[in-house]
Structure 1
Amino acid sequence: MLEEAEEIGRRVRRARLRLGKTQADLAAALGRTQGWVSKMERGLIELDRVGLLNLVASELHVHPNDLIGRPYNSSPAENQWQVSAAAIMRELRRYDLAPVFDGTPRPARQLWQETTRLHRLRDAAANVAIMQVLPDLFREARALAEVSTGHEREEAYAIYAVCCKFAHTAAHALGHPELIAMACERAAWSARLSGDPVMPAVADWMRVWDMWATADWDDAMALSDKAIRSVQQEYDHGDPLAIRAWGSLQLRAAVSAARAGRRAEVRDRIRHAWDASARVTQYAGPPVYDRHSLTFSQGNVQIHAISVALEMHEQGRALGMNGRVQPHVIEALPNSRRGHYHMDIARAWLWDGNRDKALKELETAERIAPQLIRNHPIARSTLRSIVYAERATTREKLRRMSDRFHLDG
């Protein structure tokens, strides 16, 4: 684990030298000292916030995955998801060609039922299984669009767009930047053909996530606002799917603002998201199928409020908010979101100086969503920091005891 931190530092150094930048140049661009950059390149300082990792990568004109070595080295069995990813890429590349599909595609209502399985897998953070399901569903949705007309054809493209969203989420979790980019592009294409007034905003929600990789915080906020405006009328009229999209986009904007250091903007965006979550809770109409799979709720707003506090290095505030969180609100969240939440609380306790609580939270996160946590750079950074601090403490205890025993005498 500690060697991984050193290797990240070496990758940063190689990328910096390739551009002819000095440590002082990089430090100035990051708003840090030359000494900080030197320690980071020696693996002594962790890139322990996504915003910081993305900013360093952006200044070095590389993808964040290039710095952290993601996808991570694992066993051949654990790497089989890349076979599925290649099959998905193949389907996305041939999006405008005649689909290769034997037989007659099922109607849209049956394909929507297939997406409920993807929802369950996403909630469980089973991203490898999502990858395995998607190639066949992409093919069948595209085949349905080819042979149908009218509303049925629009629904086929809506299913294709939602499949792009699932591919996008899984690719982010596992670390496949090429699939991330292509899934986002195809989502925008199919969303425009879907006839779903909210789907283009969902595609923009995906694009915002991708803008974070290049630390384009202002563009990410501008795109969030564009998407918010596109569903504003439906939001005002109380459409439940538009409310979920509107609130989710406010959370996207809050994260962007936090990484840009705009505290007042963060508070405004979180407040708007709270308002939207209250409208979701108050909804009293017929059951609504969350076809866009945005899982927006009051619990989601709470854990985002904690996350953005940590992005601004306000761990005391994050722990204070955590102390007021009602456990049942967190328990109601899907495993994917609960895993993120416990990972964030682990980081907050670590920064607050309590390694025991940090490790306990990290263990909880891994137990809830093992695939997600083991592949997440922040979880790995947190664990490395705990291991390093424990080793340093043990060395110091041994040194003091050695002095008392006069072992050097």
Structure 2
Amino acid sequence: MPFELEEQEAIGRRIKRQRLRLGMAQADLAAAVGKSQGWLSKVESGRLELDRTALINRIAAALHCHPNDLISRPYNGAAPDNQWQMAAASILRELRRYDLAPTFDGVPRSSAMLWGEMRRLHRLRDAAANVAILRTLPDLLREARALAEVSQGHEREEAFGVYALCCKFAHTAAHAMGHPELVATTCERAAWAAGLSGDPVLPAVSDWMRVWDMWATADWDDALALTDKALRSIGDEFEHGEPLAVRAWGALQLRGAVSAARANNSAEADHRLGLARQAGDRVDAETGPPIQDRHSLTFSTGNVQIHGINVALEMSDQAKALRLNEEASDEHLATLPNSRRGHHRMDLARAWLWDGDRHRALRELTEAEHLAPQLVRNHPIARATLRRIVYAERASTREQLRGMSSRFHLDDQELFP
């Protein structure tokens, strides 16, 4: 196999090693993920690239391991690229001692000032500056917990709201960088703090986080059930048009659409997208001063449009994904933050690659990296897409050279052993 890249081969070896560790036959694992034994053989030998998150997650679930165990995340880089792991360890330390007296020197700032810090984190999140987010969070978590300790009434509730949002920002960054322990712990602490915050929508936001985590174990039905539980919890606020509830309701419907698509339920996915579209219309119809996105969900019509494209790809329909992209409103897409636009460009790269246009795929992937470099370089699907492009380009070049060498009557066996 002269053209496979090392990382692609390594993923196949890890799958095979875990399968053998469990004493599972190749045919049994293939059947568990709905594929043929020949397909799995190609994956394990590094001759077939895994560039679908749902498929990686299904394999991991069948092998009773975390997807990161198969794709070796977090990825190793140069020493400066690994410094974020020190910040992640500090965050975990703070989260583990959540019910102990906080260790904070001095007097914590007011909740209003801490919410100002949340707006800064929102901007960093939109820029996909995940390392900067992780470095900022240990002190903020400590200060929010200290404020909750010394406050009463509404101020105490607001302190717990800040703590929950800090957990949400850590959760997003941990997903992007590939730190499963931090993902799980932030989700648990967000739910705890949301329940103490007095915010009627924040517990649903913590469930929105949990839905994301359920994807890792391919629990699509549970993900949909949890989505519906969260939707019911904010149903009254949504019906009354409470702006933050409308945004959370739409964001949850998008989570449900992706969950349904990964379960191969296209009708349910389309239904959820339609409901999210209704929420987007309500957001567009709002008048008056801009709504502060307190929960940092960044829900919008543009977000609904790019999720529709992602759902089409989850259903392996790249033609539909490309058509939806042509129909999408440039105006709405332009309002999306770099983090969302980077994800969108990664999806388009996959769509063009599956459609046979490697050069367009590479242009989209390059644009994704330009928009959100930390996100894209650490994203397993972006890496898999790039590997497929490189593999195909090398194979194409080899065949062109083989044909030319034949016309020149060169020795193929010597040139192409």
TM-score range, shorter chain: over 0.9
2:257 aligned with 1:254: yes
Which of 41, 44, 48 is the matching residue for 1:41?
44
Determine the C-alpha separation between the residues in 2 that align with 1:134 and 1:267.
Answer: 37
1:339 aligns with 2:342: yes
Tell me, in whole angstroms, the C-alpha distance in 2 between the residues paired with 1:83 and 1:123.
Answer: 23
Deviation at 1:287, TM superposition (A): 2.9
Opposite residue 314 of structure 1, the aligned amino acid is D
What does the per-residue CA deviation read over 1:47-67, in whole Å, with 9 as the maximum and x for residues that have no partner? 111111111111001111110
Task: Give the distance between the partners of 2:406 and 2:294, measured in 1 at CA.
Answer: 66
Q: Which moved more, 1:297-306 or 1:46-55?
A: 46-55
Whether 2:309 is the aligned partner of 1:315: answer no
Tell me the residue number matched to 1:75: 78
1:292 matched residue in structure 2: 295
User: Is it true that 1:110 corresponds to 2:113 in the alignment?
Assistant: yes
**2:274 equivalent to 1:266:** no
Mapped partners of 1:142, 1:27: distance in 2: 48
Match in the other structure for 2:173? 170
Tell me, yes or no, if structure 1 residue 147 matches structure 2 residue 150.
Answer: yes
Cα separation, 1, equivalents of 2:351 and 2:139? 41
Shift of 1:240: 0.4
Report the 3-state secondary structure (helix = DSSP H, G, I; strand = E; otherwise coil) of the residue aligned with 1:293.
coil
TM-fit CA distance, 1:191: 0.3
The one-letter amino acid paired with 1:267 is D
Q: What amino acid maps onto 2:25 in structure 1?
A: T
From 300, 304, 314, give the equivalent of 1:301: 304
> Tell me, what secondary structure is at the counterpart of 1:78?
helix
Q: Work out whether residues 133 and 169 of structure 2, in 8 Å CA contact, stay in contact via their aligned partners in 1.
A: yes
Match of 2:237 in 1: 234
**Letter matched to residue 6 of structure 1:** E
Which deviates more, 205-214 or 286-295? 286-295
In the TM superposition, residue 323 of structure 1 has moved relative to its aligned partner by 1.1
Letter in 2 for 1:180: V
1:327 to partner: Cα distance: 2.2
Aligned to 2:60: 57
The question of 1:96 aligning with 2:125 is answered no
SS in 1 for 2:82: coil
Matched, 1:278 2:281: yes
| Superposed displacement of residue 150, structure 1 | 0.3
Aligned residues: 409
Partners of 2:67 and 2:50 lie apart in 1 by 11
> In the TM superposition, what is the alpha-carbon distance from 1:329 to its structure 2 partner?
1.9
Deviation of the 1:45 alpha carbon: 1.2
CA distance in 1 between counterparts of 2:358 and 2:329 reads: 23
Deviation at 1:73, TM superposition (A): 1.1
Q: How far apart, in 1, do the equivalents of 2:370 and 2:330 lie? A: 17
Residue identity opposite 1:112 in structure 2: W
Q: Determine if contact 2:302/2:329 at 8 Å carries over to the other structure.
A: no
- Cα distance in 1 for residues equivalent to 2:66 and 2:411: 49
TM-superposed CA distance for 1:289, in Å, is: 1.1
d(CA) in 2 for partners of 1:269, 1:328: 23
For residues 399 and 18 of structure 1, the distance between their equivalents in structure 2, rounded to whole angstroms, comes to 41
Residue 338 of structure 2 contacts residue 371 of structure 2 at CA under 8 Å; is this kept in 1? yes
Residues 364-403 of structure 1: pairs in structure 2 closer than 5 A: 364-403=367-406
The match for 2:14 is 11
The share of aligned pairs that are identical, in percent, is: 68
Indicate conservation of the 8 Å contact 2:49/2:388, yes or no.
Answer: yes
SS at match of 2:132: helix
Give CA-to-partner distance per residue, 1:134-176, whole Å, 9 cap, x none.
0000000000000000000000000000000000000000000
Residue 129 of structure 1 corresponds to: 132
Q: Which range moved further: 277-286 or 138-147? A: 277-286
Q: Which residue of 1 aligns with 2:194?
A: 191
Name the residue aligned to 1:329. Answer: 332
* CA apart distance, 1:22: 1.0
What letter corresponds to residue 120 of structure 1 in structure 2?
R
Give 1:86's match in structure 2, choosing from 85, 89, 94.
Answer: 89
Cα deviation, residue 251, structure 1: 0.3
- Residue 203 of structure 1: how far off its partner (Å): 0.3
Q: What residue number does 2:159 align with?
A: 156
The one-letter amino acid of 2:117's match is E
Structure 1 length-normalised TM = 0.99
Unmatched 5+ residue regions in structure 2?
413-417
Q: Deviations over 1:324-347 (max 9, x none)?
A: 123232221000000000000000
Deviations 1:178-209 (A, max 9, x none): 00000000000000000000000000000000
Give the secondary structure class of the aligned counterpart of 2:80. Answer: coil
String of CA shifts for 1:231-288, please: whole Å, max 9, x gaps.
0100000000000000000000000000000010011000000000000111114432
CA distance in 2, matches of 1:110, 1:268: 41
Which whole-Å CA distance do the structure 2 matches of 1:87 and 1:381 have between them?
Answer: 31
Show structure 1 runs of 5+ residues with no match: none
Q: Which amino acid aligns with 2:234?
A: V
**1:210 is aligned with what amino acid?**
D
After TM superposition, the runs of 4+ consecutive aligned structure 1 residues lying more than 4 A away are: none
